Structure 1
Amino acid sequence: MWLGALISNIGTWMETVAMGVYVTQTTGRAEWTGAIVALSFLPAVVLAPVGGALADRFDRRAYAAVGALLQAALAAVLTVLAFRGQLSVSVIGVISFLNGCVSTLTYPAFSALLAELVPPEDLHLSTSLNSAQFNLGRIMGPTLAALVLQAGGPAWALLANTLSFFAVLVALWRVVPPARDASVKREPLWDGIRRGITVARDDEDISLVLAATFFVAALVAPFIGLVPVFAIRELGQGAAATSLLVTCQGAGAVTAALCVGTLAELFGQRKLRGYSATTIAVLSGVYWLAPTLQVAAVCIFFLGANYLILMSSLSASCQGRVPRELQARMGSLYSMVLGAGYSLGVWFQGALADRMHLRFVTIGCSAIFLALVLTTRLLKPARFENEPLVPAQAEVQPFSDSAH
């Protein structure tokens, strides 16, 4: 599963870099670059809870395979249009939105399937390793994209992404997940969605984690989507510099993934989450102040490492506090909040950057996030201490038709 996802993500990052450079160079506007990125995350705002409930309802392996096939089909359409010279910003926007819909509906199944393959005590580490493969793709994909863009143009990068989805299909065909409990009956779709939301709302730790996820996504995470704008407009570079910055972020994330288990044991998960939430705001501000490409590359390396530590901790906290039957729903709520925050943040910061200075906007957002973290530390200091965590009382009862 890890290897199949890595190959697919290499292709995804080749497409991401190619399309980011294409849109930035074609329109010359940060707002359009941010909008295209936002379109792929926007469906999570509505569809993520549905995806989580469906993933807990159907066979997760088959469900994830259907999603991979649909994403391959969408990538193929984009590839054909690129080879025929019919690519446009509007077409990229439509395909990005549709791809976001499919990804939102099927990712909870993939995430929960990974959680099934490891014992509960290894969930945080497996989440970090999953983030590591995503960021290995971030390292390898942009590097290959830069070579392919220089040699043949965006169409070949899109073709590579189309073919990469078959690695996921092969992995899903070979994996054998644990048998599901047949005694737990399937509840109606909307009842399942409501129950997932209720569990998250009633658990204070999960509620705080989801709130933190939203603000990280809206105020800090847009540094990912706005890399082409920063490289081209602020640093006066091009596709090669964009690939370099994306690669350095991925390298930092992979380095952090190798250390996150040790750091969690050293500090404890709660303290580590608190420290990383504080430092990411500072590192983000330093990155946006970078005067040269070389300095920016070093800064985004550490920013990428910090981002992985924080987000893997937030994600693991959502799934680790509920029974297996609810893990996909918690993962989908995490994806919904992440998608809502990121799509809003990357578009809004891009739009403001076209009317104000990019560095002023992004540094200001980093400062706001730092203020929120420090305020939360003052108001809820216990949430940053490593006192024992009691899992949410959400034992799954067999569904009874007569009860509804």
Structure 2
Amino acid sequence: MPLPASLAPLRHQVFRMLWSANVVVSLGVWLQNTGAGWLMTSLAPDAFTVSLVQAATILPVFLLALPAGALADIVDKRLFILGTQTWMLAAAALLTVLTFTGQTGIWSLLALTFAIGAGAAMNSPAWGSVMAEVVPRHDLVQAIALNGVGFNLARAVGPAIAGFLLLFGGPAVTFGLNAVSYLAVIVVLLSWRRRVRRSALPREQLLSAMRVGMRFVRYTPVMRAAMLRSAAFFGPAAAPWAMLPLIVKQQLGMGAATYGMLLGLMGAGGVTAGLILPQIRRHFGRGNIVFLSTICSCSGMVVVAVSTHWLPAAVGMVLFGLGWVASSAVAQGAAQLSAPAWVRSRALAIYQLAFNGAMILGTFFWGWLATEMGLTVSMLAAAGTGLVLSVFARSWDIDAEPHAGGVRAPAPPSPEAVAPEFVSVVRDARGRVLESQHYRIDPARQEAFLSVMAEVHDVRGRAGAVGWQLYQDVAHPEAWLEVWWVESWTDHLREAMRMSEDDRTTVARAQAFHVSDPVPPSRYLAVSPQHLPEPKAAGQRPAA
């Protein structure tokens, strides 16, 4: 019997194994987060200090996401993820021992929470790009949604379990079970024989790979829009994460079990959103789904803000969870679909910088505002800010679809072969490479040509160009010269493989404006005049 559309990605065995392991780890994460948040309310019961637990979880992502994404694109992702899982296991085990022996204080709790967050930050870009490897493109958005479902299944039961564990066993038990959960992913990864594609080109250097990733995001409109939409949502949506423990304790007058129950109901809302998302996507575009999801989450925040009883707060958390998962799955899906495999981890890392940067700023700000003006005012202000930003964010388009197959775009024009005497020179060169392409354009079509060249500018940037410029010949107005430059000869060799089908089509459209015989692009290697032979003086005899 075929699976329903909401579960379709689970028919792929590797995805199913990884997804199941991730559910176990997510359960451990929620035990950890719930235990850490509640422990901090005992160590320092004020809004700002409690919000630091959430900040310590998010801050590593903000600091480490980009180098982590670059590393994940450079090395074997499977081995990389194994390393990050082992690191988190060790940090969680140490926190367990310290808490069990009564030695955990404010700063040790924050430090080890930060260490676990650092492992998660290093893991996340690689994990997201691996998920894109193990499902076909048409299943990717729902696979991301299912990851959200798994995370929220864990959220639905994890905090509730954590609440009882905190009541009868204390935080050390929740921390210990989190440490054990990482073994699930480690076992699955050890059994997975991932196919690694080998390249004849040298491996990218870390700093260069980071710069290329940033240029890709800068010149990819859908990626930029997804980042902005996410930041507009997650900044205000950080408020419940920062303040829920204190809302439960001070506003509702309840204990750990209620805190866990409310987080669980938020997870239930997230699970519901993931399961109904295929039906929603049939009727609404990505941008509209994110907009409606923001309204849903902000409405839930308003309900929680004014609640003095657990029942309306529970309804509010369900609404918040519905919007949270739908918005994050759709926005991240747009980001992933716009990023090809060679740069996917870096692109996802930079995307995560946007929403985690917004989350950490929101966590600090709403925590501070709650300390100064009260929990209710802070939550209402966050909800209002989210609604206002969602209206402005609608102009950032995330609905554009990349090339989905069909007729293959023509390859870009090939340059002339390297001269024999330069073969060894370019192989060992470390300087920049300047490239140029000549065009001869019918003046009547100049405006259309310039419009396409604006797109070519983005194509060159996505492929790694450090700079780009278009010139017009002042003596021959029909003659144009496109110039761009890359960091190294190796980056130049990677340009063709970095171009997507859409990029090749754009370059072909620009070439179609050329009215005379095709002109191959030229390549120039940067040289230093100090390294050239000095000119001989007049009358000087050459050396024998």
Q: Which is strand-richer, 1 or 2?
A: 2
Give the TM-score, by structure 2 length: 0.70
User: Which residue matches 1:54?
Assistant: 71
Give the TM-score, by structure 1 length: 0.93
Which runs of no fewer than 5 residues in structure 1 stay unpaired? none
Which runs of no fewer than 5 residues in structure 2 stay unpaired? 1-17, 405-457, 466-487, 493-525, 527-544
| 1:117–1:178 CA contact under 8 A, matched in 2 | no
1:178-230 CA deviation, whole Å, 9 max, x = no partner? 43253464222112111111121122221121122223222113312322111
| 1:104–1:335 CA contact under 8 A, matched in 2 | no
1:146-201 CA deviation, whole Å, 9 max, x = no partner? 22222221111111111111011011112343432534642221121111111211
Q: Does 1:92 align with 2:109?
A: yes
User: What amino acid is the match of 2:320?
Assistant: L
Q: Does 1:3 align with 2:20?
A: yes
| 1:116–1:178 CA contact under 8 A, matched in 2 | no
User: Which residue matches 1:383?
Assistant: 397
Q: Does 1:210 align with 2:227?
A: yes
1:237-278 CA deviation, whole Å, 9 max, x = no partner? 110110011000011101111111221122132322232234
User: What amino acid is the match of 2:165?
Assistant: V
Q: Does 1:326 align with 2:331?
A: no
Larger radius of gyration: 2
User: Which residue matches 2:330?
Assistant: 313
1:311-364 CA deviation, whole Å, 9 max, x = no partner? 111111111112111111111012212221111211221122112111111211
User: Which residue matches 2:532?
Assistant: none
User: What amino acid is the match of 2:91?
Assistant: L
User: Which residue matches 1:372?
Assistant: 389
User: Which residue matches 1:295?
Assistant: 312
Deviation, structure 1 residue 402: 8.0
User: What amino acid is the match of 1:358?
Assistant: L
User: Which residue matches 2:415?
Assistant: none
Alpha-carbon distance between aligned partners in 2 of 1:203 and 1:112, rounded to the nearest angstrom? 18
Q: Which is helix-richer, 1 or 2?
A: 1
Residues matched between the structures, number: 400
1:15 to 32, 49, 62: 32
1:113 to 103, 115, 130: 130
Alpha-carbon distance between aligned partners in 1 of 2:313 and 2:293, rounded to the nearest angstrom? 20
Alpha-carbon distance between aligned partners in 1 of 2:284 and 2:333, rounded to the nearest angstrom? 16
1:277-312 CA deviation, whole Å, 9 max, x = no partner? 343333322332223111111111121011100011
1:82 to 88, 99, 104: 99
Greater relative contact order, per chain length (Cα 8 Å cut-off, separation 6+) = 1
| 1:185–1:400 CA contact under 8 A, matched in 2 | no
Q: Does 1:401 align with 2:415?
A: no
Alpha-carbon distance between aligned partners in 2 of 1:372 and 1:184, rounded to the nearest angstrom? 44
Alpha-carbon distance between aligned partners in 2 of 1:196 and 1:321, rounded to the nearest angstrom? 13
User: Which residue matches 2:44?
Assistant: 27
The 3-state SS of whatever aligns with 1:118 is: coil
| 1:34–1:350 CA contact under 8 A, matched in 2 | yes
User: Which residue matches 1:162?
Assistant: 179
2:253 to 214, 225, 236: 236
**Percent sequence identity over aligned pairs:** 26
The 3-state SS of whatever aligns with 2:280 is: helix
Deviation, structure 1 residue 139: 1.5
Alpha-carbon distance between aligned partners in 2 of 1:185 and 1:153, rounded to the nearest angstrom? 51
User: Which residue matches 2:196?
Assistant: 179
User: What amino acid is the match of 1:57?
Assistant: I
Sort the Cα spacing of 1:177 and 1:287 in 2 relative to 1 into closer, same or farther, 3 A.
Answer: farther
User: Which residue matches 1:153?
Assistant: 170
Sort the Cα spacing of 1:359 and 1:137 in 2 relative to 1 into closer, same or farther, 3 A.
Answer: same
Alpha-carbon distance between aligned partners in 2 of 1:402 and 1:48, rounded to the nearest angstrom? 23
